[in-house]
Structure 1
Amino acid sequence: MMLRISDLHAAYGKAEVLHGIDLEVAPGEVVCLIGRNGVGKSSTMKSIVRDQIAVTGGEIVFDGAPLAGMRPHEVIRRGVGYVPEDRRVFASLSVLENLNVPRPVAAAAGRRRWTVDEVFRLFPQLHDYRHRKAGVMSGGEQQMLSIARSLLTCPKLLLLDEPHEGLAPKIAEEVVDAIVALKREGVSMIVSEQALNTIRRCADRVYVIDRGMMVWNGSVDGFYADPEITRKYLMVQ
């Protein structure tokens, strides 16, 4: 397995938000982590990269080695790309300057090497706006920029947290198209998601999280074969 999470507990301050999460991702696999807002999807991703959350128990093993004790930039350098829900582009920098921020990664076995030209081919709009300040771009354009910048860290595993949350339908579809293209490239991904169409197009397997606990996991076919899962864990109640 590329990533194995076992009995993960995590907290913000004294408030524990994850209660024994188990999750695995195989090389080249796309896993969708689904559930309503606020149930622990983002917290699970933040725990992997140690982003503003304390891991209080369990184990996260990536590429055969535990991530315990690492700082966020060290996890990224190990090969975990992270696209947070809030995108975190550098608003005062141009698109091209944002893409030049990631430090070059030393050559390593199993890591796809991405270039600026390649991410421009994936997101042609970014090439058109390469001299534009990121802060004046639309939410969808900033999302594309955040994904492109993460790819330039040459990740073995890419974490996408709600990649088309709040985007206009046309732009959201373009972002999903890019995820599908990355899947064809063999990029391993965890995608935090609620949209059923995205799950159908992208996922190899599905994990359902509720109140900080994994409540179901299985194949995409198994997920769609049981509409009770969608009703219980995705529909607004």
Structure 2
Amino acid sequence: MLTMTAIHAAYGKSEALHGIDLTIGAGEVVCLIGRNGVGKSSTMKAIVREQITVTAGEVVFDGAPLTGLAPFEIIRRGVGYVPENRRVFASLSVLENLRVPRPVTATDRRRWTLDEVFALFPQLYDYRHRTAGVMSGGEQQMLSIARSLLTQPKLLLLDEPHEGLAPKVAEEVVDAIVALKREGVSMLISEQALNTIRRCADRVHVVDRGMTVWNGTVAGFYEDPEIARKYLMVQ
């Protein structure tokens, strides 16, 4: 579904990625792991071409290169993106936020409805008339994921989906990710929490200093605790 080959990317003249190789298959959940500041968010931005310039390498999605496309065009092709800072429209209600995505007419995608995202996140239904800006961080994260699903993505990118959330709320977000996995949603998740990796991932790609340094199955990741110790500083 998605392949990144030898990706180099930069913010202006500052290179952030120095050789990212990554693959995601249809229906697969891949966790992109590493310490803060090593290039996980930059890898996701390189896919959707947001605030970063790909200077070398190629990103191919659904059989076609993404070279030269604007971020909105990549989203329209079927890449859903939930950034770390959520970016809800603070002055709009939950319902108004969810009505922002333009309808997609493609027939080869799982089509999400308002009722389905409310079933996934019942709190959003309860707060559907509430202004998004007064919601908690966890509620805004749920809203951001729900809004992205309504773009009818073939692939969903989740950047640190429970960063900064209270433990109970973070667990609710992970529960929703597990539910999406059962639905067959392909996902790339930027992650550091071992529990999320264990519950959600099919495969793991480890990033360090802007490069892919290891990739393999979740079983292979847990069979070698040195990987987590070295790249996540987990003892």
TM-score (norm 1): 0.98
The residue number in structure 1 matching 2:201 is 203
CA RMSD of aligned residues (A): 0.9
Q: State the alpha-carbon separation in 2 of the partners of residues 69 and 25 from structure 1.
A: 21
Secondary structure of the residue aligned to 1:101 is coil
1: distance between equivalents of 2:226 and 2:70? 40
Taking the aligned partners of 2:161 and 2:35, their CA distance within structure 1 comes to 15
Once the two structures are superposed, what CA deviation does each residue of 1:91-121 show, in whole Å capped at 9, x if it has no partner? Answer: 0000000000000001331x10001110000
User: Where does residue 174 of structure 2 map in the other structure?
Assistant: 176
Report what 1:136 is aligned to: 134
Give distance in 1, aligned partners of 2:178 and 2:106: 26
**Secondary structure of 1:43's aligned partner:** helix
Deviations 1:107-153 (A, max 9, x none): 331x1000111000000000000000000000000000000000000
Corresponding residue pairs, total: 235
Report SS of the residue matched to 2:101: coil
* SS, match of residue 217 in structure 1: strand
3-state SS, counterpart of residue 86 of structure 2: coil
Look up the match of 1:32.
Answer: 31
Q: Following TM superposition, where does structure 1 have runs of at least 4 consecutive aligned residues deviating by more than 3 angstroms?
A: none
Mapping 1:153-164, distance limit 5 Å: 153-164=151-162
Gaps of 5+ in 2: none
Q: Secondary structure at the match of 1:87?
A: coil
- Structure 2 equivalent of residue 226 of structure 1: 224
Distance 1:107 1:48 in 2: 21
Aligned residue number for residue 13 of structure 2 = 14
- Structure 1 residue aligned with 2:111: 113
- Report the residue type matching 2:13 in the other structure: K
2:48 equivalent in structure 1: 49
Residue type of the alignment partner of 2:91 = S
Q: 2:88 corresponds to which residue?
A: 89
SS in 1 for 2:189: strand
The residue type paired with residue 213 of structure 1 is M
1: CA distance, partners of 2:218 / 2:19? 23
CA–CA separation in structure 2 for the residues paired with 1:7 and 1:160:
22
Q: Which amino acid aligns with 1:86?
A: N
Contact 2:46 2:52 in 1 (8 A): yes
Q: Which amino acid aligns with 2:61?
A: F
Q: Which ranges of structure 1 fall in alignment gaps of 5 or more residues?
A: none
> Over residues 69-91 of structure 1, what are the superposed CA-to-partner deviations in whole Å (9 max), with x where a residue is unaligned?
00000000000000000000000
Q: TM-score, normalised by structure 2?
A: 0.99
SS in 2 for 1:32: strand
DSSP-derived class of the 1:114 partner: coil
Percent pairwise identity:
83
CA apart distance, 1:236: 7.2
C-alpha distance in 2 between matches for 1:84 and 1:108: 26
SS at match of 1:90: coil
Which of 213, 216, 219 aligns to 1:215? It is: 213
